[in-house]
């Protein structure tokens, strides 16, 4: 809850209490004494906030090839969409659960642009947790003069201590329970220590909504030694109503009390369902949080493995790539094998599709392995003899003479060699 001077009655001594964008109470005061507080809403409003993480601003985005600079800018555009979403949803505050920045040594221009975007949230409170990519360390990114330009509505959660959200006690305004944050800031790049260990259990009679913030690995497989492991039942053990997590780059809702929103914009092909934030509503302490993912990312990372043997395989590839209207957002990686049975017509259609994708996609990364042989009449002599040797090896027979050494090569190498021989002959005889 926030307290602001009433814009309609200044200079009269009235104050207005807000829950997000909602007016919930009026007060009359003189000096430091509050004479009365009049509730406007007698029903408790749900606590509503946005949980986001892993902005990774300043990431080099080298996998985007020649369009890496545009991919870097796309991350800032995602934050802009987040600002608009926070305004539209009338949330009470925003939580950033680590890795706002890609690294401590990013260019200062990235910090300035980030500060400008954070200042657009004003007056909405924004709470930022240092992560393992931007830890809170002496001489780190959070001590730069460029960072100090950030507004007072932005609070860096640099210490493991209870932080109370809002200025006025909930019981005073009859506006629902108070909210406390339990941040677990990261102060080094790697650690096997659970950063949430410090969070105290809920005291008897504590009627506040308790929210933890942490950056690390919640799901730990036997034998794993992850970076910053987090106890899976931490919300239950500590009496938390919600644990806002960061570090995992894909949307992950397996644990309703401890979800990951993922990164706001994808950073690579291995990430599953990136580009989201979570709008979270909690009615009261102990109530199940209501989670609603909202997409703020623009680019899509798609990786496809394909085997092309005929027109049907080509249709399957096109279906997996997706409709043409989304191609401009795609960073597409294709690993295609051209099978021996692939006719020339299907191969030519594949080449035409490749040209269309290269022109229409944000970025295309294509690798083709061709194991087919072209239907070409090889000239008599050494070329025909070489082809005979390669075919013999592929049939599982060791050839006589100097070709015996080829039998020790892997079949895929021999197949590729024969394919190259046929393509070379086709070029020469064209």
- My answer on whether omega of the bond before 79 falls inside 30° of 0, hence cis, is no
Say which residues have a Cβ less than 8 Å from residue 47's Cβ, sequence separation at least 6: 92, 176, 177, 179, 209, 281, 282, 283
Statement: the pTM of the whole predicted model exceeds 0.75 = yes
Q: How far apart are CA 98 and CA 90, in angstroms?
A: 23
Burial 22-37 (b: 16+ CB within 10 A, else e): eebbbbeeeeeeeeeb
For 27-94, the DSSP string reads EEEETTEEEEEEES--SPPPEEEEEE----BT---GGGGGGHHHHHHHHHHHHHHHHHHHHHHT-SEE
- Coil vs helix vs strand at 312: helix
Phi then psi for residue 426, to 5 deg, are: -65, -40
Are 355 and 324 in contact by the 8 Å Cβ rule? The answer is no
CA nearest neighbour of 261 among 243, 272, 242, 248: 248
**Tokens coding 315:** 């249709």
Domain map of the chain by residue range?
Answer: 43-295, 300-370, 382-429
* Dihedral over alpha carbons 414, 415, 419, 421 (to 10 degrees): 20
Are 391 and 373 in contact by the 8 Å Cβ rule? The answer is no
| The pLDDT value given to residue 168 | 36
- My answer on whether omega of the bond before 11 falls inside 30° of 0, hence cis, is yes
Is the dihedral angle over the CA atoms 145, 147, 153, 157 positive or is it negative? Answer: negative
Q: How far apart are CA 129 and CA 171, in angstroms?
A: 28
Architecture of domain 43-295: 4-Layer Sandwich (3.60)
| Strand stretches in 98-187, DSSP E | 126-129, 154-156, 163-165, 179-183
Angle between helices 382-394 and 411-429 (to 10 degrees): 150
Task: List, run by run, the mean pLDDT of 10-residue segments along the chain (430 residues).
Answer: 44 49 50 48 72 98 96 98 98 97 96 98 97 95 96 97 70 57 96 96 95 91 78 96 97 96 96 97 96 98 94 94 96 92 87 95 91 65 80 80 80 76 69
What is the CB-side half-sphere exposure of residue 146 using CA atoms within 13 A? 14
Are 207 and 176 in contact by the 8 Å Cβ rule? The answer is no
Query: For residue 210, what are the β-bridge partners?
Result: 180
| The pLDDT value given to residue 34 | 46
Q: How far apart are CA 339 and CA 415, in angstroms?
A: 10
DSSP one-letter code for 204: T
| The pLDDT value given to residue 340 | 78
Q: How far apart are CA 78 and CA 114, in angstroms?
A: 12
Helix (H) / strand (E) containing 353:
helix 344-360
């Amino acid at each position: 809850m926030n307290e602001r001077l009433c814009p309609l009655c200044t200079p009269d001594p009235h104050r207005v209490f807000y829950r997000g964008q909602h007016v919930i109470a009026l007060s009359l005061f003189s000096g430091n004494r509050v004479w009365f507080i009049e509730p406007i809403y007698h029903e408790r409003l749900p606590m509503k906030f946005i949980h986001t993480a892993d902005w990774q601003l300043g990431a080099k985005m080298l996998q985007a090839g020649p369009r890496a600079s545009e991919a870097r800018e796309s991350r800032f555009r995602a934050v802009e969409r987040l600002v608009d979403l926070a305004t539209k949803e009338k949330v009470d505050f925003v939580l950033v659960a680590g890795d706002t920045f890609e690294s401590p040594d990013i260019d200062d221009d990235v910090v300035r642009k980030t500060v400008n975007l954070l200042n657009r949230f004003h007056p909405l409170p924004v709470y930022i947790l240092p992560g393992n990519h931007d830890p809170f360390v002496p001489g780190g990114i959070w001590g730069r003069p460029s960072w100090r330009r950030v507004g007072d509505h932005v609070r860096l959660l640099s210490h493991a201590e209870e932080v109370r959200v809002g200025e006025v006690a909930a019981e005073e305004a009859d506006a629902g329970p108070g909210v406390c944050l339990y941040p677990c800031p990261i102060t080094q790049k790697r650690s096997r220590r659970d950063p949430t260990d410090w969070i105290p259990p809920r005291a008897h009679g504590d009627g506040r909504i308790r929210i933890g913030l942490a950056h690390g690995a919640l799901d730990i497989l036997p034998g794993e030694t992850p970076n910053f492991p987090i106890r899976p039942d931490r919300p239950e053990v500590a009496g938390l109503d919600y644990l806002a997590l960061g570090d995992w780059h894909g949307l992950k809702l397996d644990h309703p009390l401890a979800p990951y929103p993922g990164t706001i914009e994808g950073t690579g092909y291995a990430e599953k369902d990136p580009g989201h934030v979570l709008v979270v509503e909690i009615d009261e302490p102990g109530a199940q949080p209501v989670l609603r993912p909202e997409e703020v990312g623009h680019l899509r990372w798609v990786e496809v493995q394909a085997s092309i043997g005929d027109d049907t395989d080509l249709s399957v590839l096109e279906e997996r790539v997706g409709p043409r209207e989304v191609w401009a957002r795609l960073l597409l990686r294709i690993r295609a094998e051209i099978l021996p049975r692939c006719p020339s017509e299907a191969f030519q259609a594949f080449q035409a599709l490749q040209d269309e994708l290269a022109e229409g996609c944000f970025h295309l990364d294509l690798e083709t392995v061709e194991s087919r042989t072209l239907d070409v009449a090889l000239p008599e002599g050494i070329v025909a003899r070489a082809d005979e040797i390669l075919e013999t090896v592929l049939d599982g027979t060791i050839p006589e003479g100097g070709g015996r050494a080829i039998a020790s090569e892997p079949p895929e190498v021999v197949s590729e060699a024969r394919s190259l021989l046929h393509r070379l002959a086709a070029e020469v005889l064209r």
